[in-house]
Copies of this chain bind each other. A is one copy, B any other.
Amino acid sequence: MSKPRPTSPIPVLAVVGVGLIGGSFAAALRQAGRVGRVLGVGRNPQSLQRACELGLIDEAVDAAEAARRADLVMLAAPVGSLARLWAEMRPHLKPGIVLTDAGSTKAEVVQAARAALGDRIGCFVPGHPIAGAERTGPEAADAGLYRGRTVVLCPLPENAPQDVEFVRQAWALCGACLVDMEAGLHDRVLASVSHMPHFLAAVYMAQVAGEPDAAQRLAMAGSGFRDFTRIAAGSPEMWRDIFISNRAAMQTELAAVRAVLDRAEAAIAAGDGAALQALLEHASQARRNWKLAGPTESPESS
């Protein structure tokens, strides 16, 4: 992780997607006083208007205009929509513009960016802030969201060092801790510790909710259920894109989870308390030894 450095101002920032991720990025940079004008791009006119009212953005524009006017563009849109956005922006990219993203997968995003941006690929610095996204919309935006949180950058060989530094500085202004990682490694690690929990929580929640006696079950659910399923409330569209975009790593991880699941289920079926306890001890010790990086504010209860 690198330390925050002295930062250069950002005359015009554009955020594509004015919800939690993009809105919080804009809010943090505005709060830091290093951003001039903030342009907002989005599909939903109500969200854009709300983002204006909340002071997250100064005006709503389309992707082409953002490409013409912005110095830094944060693409905080679902991973599946990035290819279309790049295609819209490509003919209008201002000289010296830097694009970055907040997509939860990186290998496929980089591939799509190369295809769409062609010889302008150097202006795109791929990134991924690791910050909760179960709340959505401009109202969820929070200038403090990234404080102490890890942001992964996956710089490309084509990136100019000063462009990578520009993105790094912007995140540092948001209070984030930066770490560089190769895109493929990022995707494998995130499949394990981010995408898999969301996937399992959603699968479990869908199963319970689909049972004929779901109401009776849910009435008896307690605080363990609450925390285990919190992330199942996340944006279906965003997670659909993430799971499919990162499918190879997801399938590898899922096979590994299933192997442990089979072992644990066999122990239950056989009444093998020793084997089951060994597995539970391993899990419990590992969880007790783990600590979330960054500030440990209490999670919102939803």
Select the stretch in A55-63, A89-97, A117-125, A194-202 that faces chain B: A194-202
Contact with B along A232-248 (1 / 0, CB 8 A): 11111101110110010
Main secondary structure on A side of the interface with B: helix
Contact with B along A262-302 (1 / 0, CB 8 A): 00110011010100110111111111101011001111111
Q: How far is the CB of A147 from chain B (nearest CB, A)?
A: 13
Asked if A161 CB lies within 8 Å of chain B CBs, one says no
Which B-chain residue is minimally distant from A220 (CB atoms)? B189
In the complex, the answer to whether A229 meets B132 with C-beta atoms within 8 Å is no
Interface size on A, as a range, is: 35 or more
In the complex, the answer to whether A283 meets B209 with C-beta atoms within 8 Å is yes
Q: How far is the CB of A132 from chain B (nearest CB, A)?
A: 4
In the complex, the answer to whether B225 meets A197 with C-beta atoms within 8 Å is yes
State whether A279 and B202 are in contact (beta carbons under 8 Å apart), knowing that A236-B284, A256-B207, A268-B244 are contacts in the complex.
yes
Which of B189, B231, B285 contacts A224 (CB under 8 A)? B231
Q: How far is the CB of A233 from chain B (nearest CB, A)?
A: 4
The CA-CA distance from A288 to B283 in the complex, in Å, is: 28
State whether A190 and B236 are in contact (beta carbons under 8 Å apart), knowing that A271-B247, A299-B301 are contacts in the complex.
no
In the complex, the answer to whether A282 meets B221 with C-beta atoms within 8 Å is no
Chain B residues closer than 8 Å to A296, beta-carbon distance: 301
Chain B residues closer than 8 Å to A271, beta-carbon distance: 244, 247
Seen from chain A, the residues whose Cβ lies within 8 Å of a Cβ on chain B are: 80, 130-132, 134, 149-150, 152, 189-190, 192-194, 196-211, 213-214, 216-237, 239-241, 243-244, 247, 250-251, 254, 256-257, 259-261, 264-265, 268-269, 271, 273, 276-277, 279-288, 290, 292-293, 296-302
